[in-house]
Amino acid sequence: MQPQVILNEKQVDLTLRRLCYQLIENHNDFTNTILIGFQPRGIFVLERLKIKLEKILNHPIQCGNIDITFHRDDFRRRERPIIPSVTNIDFDIENRNIVLVDDVLHTGRTIRSGLDALLAFGRPKKVELLTLIDRRFQRDLPIQANYIGFTVDTLISEKVSVEWKETDGKDQVFLFTPIESNE
Amino acid sequence: MNNLSIQHLTGIKDLTPEDIEIIFKTTDSFKQVINRPIKKVPSLRDITVANLFFENSTRTKLSFELAEKRLSSDVINFSSSSSSVKKGETLLDTVNNILSMKIDMVVIRHPNPGAALYLSKRINATVINAGDGAHEHPTQALLDAYSIREKLGSVSGKKVVIVGDILHSRVALSNIYCLQKLGAEVMVCGPTTLIPKYINELGVQVSHNLREALEWCDVANMLRIQLERQEISFFPSFREYTMQFGLTKEILDSLSKKIIIMHPGPINRGVEISSDVADSSQSIILNQVENGVAVRMAVIYLLAAKIER
């Protein structure tokens, strides 16, 4: 079946810009706020937010990446072990405001693992969640995002795929509806 | 990326170069983990590991135990000196008794070569060899190769000399396999009596001259003389051994390039290596110990992923 475009390049850009202003509304000039992107796909959202925010605020903002492989709850339930990506948190998160950034919020399990992984670095003052796409009504855990780029209602058999210029040639979001369920 | 091709780690001989790459890549991540404020991850909280040490060990046992605990697995320790082995129980009986307590993974050190392989074919648990007699010590070889990779960027194309008691050393054999699989050139150096006869079949060079070997190499791995495995004398005296094969600061400084010094421990200071060399900036002995925990975490993590639920 043909994939359906949910957000095209221009819409992705607009959405990210709106998310930046929403972040600024709550975090002012980001002096006590750090953005942390989830490996491997959340970091692309983070990079774009960082560029836009720094342009608007006119000063650098602190960012990091987090890998959640060792904190997942599906270890030994998958056929292959997941080889981890790099975690870059070379700063103190104690008493800081953290905004976790990911591309798609689906079951909430990644975020649960991410919170677990994050707390291994210290005790932040507050943790918020930003997601580019929210697959509403698909949650396994009671987790919601504070900042949502685009909300989409999907069936469990459908797949949302976020593509990025660096890896796929273009920033765009697709919804795949397979004929046979693949989940 | 693929999973490991093995179910048990009984020796480096069974590993493919891809397996070693997977282990090293995972080790990179665990090295990050053990340098965090909270050095523990919850991956293995449903796994129980038994450390069965039928032979003395300090470093390896501590390193394995720490690795297991940092992965959140449950750990039980066993050492033969305080057990029913002294009362005549066989290895298989001892292990089966322990396994009936629902153990998922066994780390075994044993004085008999092949003990880990023997167990892996007979018990329903994942086996990791922590040294079997003079046969293999795979995790030591992995951490040695990882330490070389960390220091020099890669192992491929590097020249490594292993100096000392090659005949009785499981570290030497595992290191030869591991380094060759990663594309390094290996030389062994020691008195004729401590070089095994079959060594040429392994495709390594042999030297009986320490200075010549050190001039050739990028990395020197200094081994200990294994007193506990020598019923007869293989050389006239320690003093004579040290005169010919002991690495001193004078020799090190007289070389045309700066080589890296490694030692699997325990060190006999003043015998195979002098104190100032062991503590010099060229020595990566303590890095090896740190990497040991991370490498073992990677091996346990990757093998645990293969245990069926």
B173 three-state secondary structure: helix
Give yes or no on whether B12-137+289-304 and B138-288 have one common fold: yes
A69 three-state secondary structure: helix
Domain that holds residue A18: 9-154
A61 three-state secondary structure: coil
Distance from the B296 Cα atom to the nearest Cα atom in chain A, whole angstroms:
15
B26 touches A: beta carbon within 8 Å: yes
pLDDT in the model for residue B182: 96
pLDDT in the model for residue B1: 53
* The total number of residues written for chain B in this structure: 309
Model confidence at B83: pLDDT above 80:
no
B41 touches A: beta carbon within 8 Å: yes
A86's tokens: 């790099």
Residue type, B277: V
pLDDT in the model for residue B85: 65
How much of chain B, in percent, has pLDDT values that exceed 70?
A: 95
Mean pLDDT over B71-98 rounds to 81
Distance from the A12 Cα atom to the nearest Cα atom in chain B, whole angstroms:
30
Mean pLDDT over B230-254 rounds to 86
Place of tokens 């932040």: A124
Mean pLDDT over B12-39 rounds to 93
Q: Does some domain include residue A2?
A: no
CB pair distance less than 8 Å for A70 and B302? no
CB pair distance less than 8 Å for B26 and A121? no
CB pair distance less than 8 Å for A81 and B33? no
Q: Does some domain include residue A165?
A: no
CB-CB neighbors (< 8 A) of A112 in chain B: none
Q: Does some domain include residue A69?
A: yes
Task: Print pLDDT tens along chain A (183 aa).
Answer: 678 999 999 999 999 999 999 999 999 999 999 999 998 899 999 999 999 999 999 999 999 999 998 898 888 777 666 778 888 888 889 999 999 999 999 999 999 999 999 998 889 999 999 999 999 988 999 999 999 999 999 888 889 999 999 999 999 999 998 876 444
- The interaxial angle of helices B285-304 and B59-70, nearest 10 deg, is 50
Of chain B residues 58-77, which have a CB less than 8 A from chain A?
A: 71
Distance from the A92 Cα atom to the nearest Cα atom in chain B, whole angstroms:
10
Of chain A residues 117-156, which have a CB less than 8 A from chain B?
A: 119-122
Pairwise pLDDT comparison (B229 vs A67), residue with the higher score: A67
CB pair distance less than 8 Å for B305 and A76? yes
Give the separation between CA A122 and CA A120, rounded to whole angstroms.
Answer: 6
Half-sphere exposure of A99 (CA within 13 A, CB side): 28
Residues 6+ apart with CB under 8 A from B36: A120, A121
From the list A79, A84, A122, which residue is nearest B29 (CB)?
A84
pLDDT in the model for residue B202: 93
A69 touches B: beta carbon within 8 Å: yes
Give the separation between CA A160 and CA A154, rounded to whole angstroms.
Answer: 9
pLDDT category at B204 given cuts 50, 70, 90 is very high
Bridge partners (DSSP) of residue B77 are: B51
Q: Which of A75, A67, A70 is nearest to A38 (CA)?
A: A67
pLDDT category at B28 given cuts 50, 70, 90 is very high
B211's tokens: 């200075």
From the list B32, B71, B302, which residue is nearest A81 (CB)?
B302
Q: Which of A103, A101, A102, A111 is nearest to A174 (CA)?
A: A103
pLDDT category at B3 given cuts 50, 70, 90 is confident
Give the separation between CA B291 and CA B301, rounded to whole angstroms.
Answer: 15
CB pair distance less than 8 Å for B41 and A70? yes
Give the separation between CA B229 and CA B196, rounded to whole angstroms.
Answer: 14
Q: Does some domain include residue A159?
A: no
B301 touches A: beta carbon within 8 Å: yes
Give the separation between CA A167 and CA B189, rounded to whole angstroms.
Answer: 50
**So where are chain B's domains?**
12-137+289-304, 138-288
Distance from the B1 Cα atom to the nearest Cα atom in chain A, whole angstroms:
7
CB-CB neighbors (< 8 A) of A72 in chain B: 43
B189's tokens: 């150096």
Least confident of A26-35, A173-182, B20-29, B299-308: A173-182
Which stretches of A28-63 are DSSP H helices?
A: 42-57
CATH topology of domain B12-137+289-304: Rossmann fold (3.40.50)
CB B27 within 8 A of CB B301: no
Least confident of A155-159, B74-78, B185-189: A155-159
pLDDT in the model for residue B230: 63
A92: closest chain B residue by CA? B37
CATH code of residue A94: 3.40.50.2020
pLDDT in the model for residue B158: 96
CB pair distance less than 8 Å for B41 and A83? no
Kindly report, residue by residue over B130-148, the tens digit of the pLDDT: 999 999 999 999 999 999 9
A115 touches B: beta carbon within 8 Å: no
CB pair distance less than 8 Å for B37 and A122? yes
A131's tokens: 């997601």
Residues 6+ apart with CB under 8 A from B29: A67, A69, A70, A84, A86, A87, B298
Q: Give the total number of structural domains in chain A.
A: 1
Give the separation between CA B114 and CA B120, rounded to whole angstroms.
Answer: 10
Q: Does some domain include residue A30?
A: yes
Least confident of B38-52, B139-153, B284-298: B38-52
A89: closest chain B residue by CA? B36
pLDDT in the model for residue B238: 84
| Cα–Cα separations (whole angstroms), residue B111 to B30, B97, B106, B188, B292 | 30, 20, 16, 23, 21
Least confident of A135-139, B93-97, B176-180, B193-197: B93-97
Model confidence at B309: pLDDT above 90:
no
Q: Does domain B138-288 have CATH number 3.30.70.1140?
A: no
Q: Does some domain include residue A82?
A: yes
Phi and psi of B73, rounded to 5°? -80, 160
pLDDT in the model for residue A183: 47
ipTM attached to this prediction: 0.78
